Structure 1
């Protein structure tokens, strides 16, 4: 699914659609066209006019941040072949140098053979080169104590906490409420999001430190969406909704009908 790049709204906001046009965020990059969470997927999104991409960040054994969705390296790399005695091939059990040896593209198709697992630093450089924006998900934070501070340090080191990026190019999200709250405490100027669909009665407490509530599309109801939109987040704007796990052909149409801001697909 692709659409033309969508203009951003006023200063201090993250991804926002144009009038009547839900925003499409490329899930793990353009992961239907290139291996997920790789630089090839970033570039595939760019070629299709997708301004925003979503990724997943974890930490290696030696403390480096890498872009990877699964808790293990088995599904999307050749770790089982390269390191046959290292089952179950958990990301956090390997050093950054070891992960850099892995082929993260052949599983998707032969023309992507040799594609690597990017570090967060390389990923951010590619987004800057393409003038793209990032919805960054911190994965499995309980497995990586202190990862929130590490992500913030890397974002700062790479220039992603300057005014231009914070205003309109970066959102940090997670399923872990405590993790998102910690990110807000460390960098209150950065927009944040919770993944999931908390009950309406509990939404107000999240509005103190998040700007978005991002559920599965199947979890949405008109009542829930209205309850989210009635609240204002820490930056003074109404909370937004970006749904994920949507159908290939119905995501944007359904998002428009439901009045939500966009889809992660």
Structure 2
């Protein structure tokens, strides 16, 4: 068996193992509990950022679907996480010998030819990449959307492009804002502030893998609505301080039931997870 096949088998085994764990150690999601945010869709049970993962998260009653916004060479916004596509598509087979496999180096017509499901499991063979507009159509009126602006360094103007996409769908924008079902987040401070300037009515969050300092939190509180840190750096003092400064806090990426219970006990506002069903099933 090839190294790729070994990796795929191991990844699927890990996903199934996590499913058994979460189904046997369910954390009930009460109305007053944290929002359940499906990381790249229900990505523990379906190939990430595909229609299958998003639709499954909706069926599992996730409060939000979290996606990743990137841009093709011809200007289409697509839902994809990695800066390059080798890990989750067959791009090297379909387009062998390309100098770059970045999303931004391919047209939408080219991306539509890729298989984004077989890497996860054979039953998802032929699953395609989808546009951000497709994602919006799927979640509209069914669940919330938390969109991450890609941190891939080669992008410029991504905040402007996503703001324009939302403005081009005024009915969705008005309805999602009224229902509290829309948010944007970024690891890039410039992208977050740029988006906030363009659409200040849309809640904006700053992602952080490290624990933010108090000075950073005070600065963020002057414009940001959310601080979204890695759960491993989150404790009661951080949650309380974020709330004291008038912001909310969503933690990522929480897949183990004990960690879910611990984060919920701290009073976080949202839990970003690959396994939303472990929080929504009662």
What range is the shorter-chain TM-score in? 0.7 to 0.9
Q: 2:168 aligns with which of 157, 169, 177?
A: 157
Deviation at 1:175, TM superposition (A): 0.3
What's the CA shift string for 1:137-186, capped at 9, x where partnerless?
A: 00126421111111011112234663221231100000011111111100
Helix, strand or coil for the counterpart of 2:248? coil
Q: Which runs of 5 or more structure 2 residues have no equivalent in the other structure?
A: 1-21, 274-282
CA–CA distance in structure 1, aligned partners of residues 232 and 117 of structure 2: 30
Q: 2:222 aligns with which of 195, 199, 208?
A: 208
User: Aligned residue for 2:231?
Assistant: 217
CA–CA distance in structure 1, aligned partners of residues 166 and 38 of structure 2: 20
CA–CA distance in structure 2, aligned partners of residues 41 and 187 of structure 1: 28
For the aligned residue pairs, the C-alpha RMSD in angstroms reads: 2.0
Deviation at 1:247, TM superposition (A): 3.4
Which residues of 2 match residues 1-265 of structure 1 at below 5 A? 18-19=31-32, 21-128=33-140, 131-140=142-151, 142-159=153-170, 162-167=173-178, 168-196=180-208, 197-232=211-246, 239-265=247-273
TM-score (norm 2): 0.82
Q: Which runs of 5 or more structure 1 residues have no equivalent in the other structure?
A: 7-16, 233-238
TM-score (norm 1): 0.87
Aligned residues: 247
Deviation at 1:225, TM superposition (A): 1.8
* Residues 169 and 4 of structure 1, relative CA distance in 2, 3 Å threshold: farther
Deviation at 1:63, TM superposition (A): 1.2
- Of structures 1 and 2, the one with the larger relative CO (CA 8 A, separation 6+) is 2
Helix, strand or coil for the counterpart of 2:257? coil
User: Aligned residue for 2:277?
Assistant: none
Higher share in helix: 2
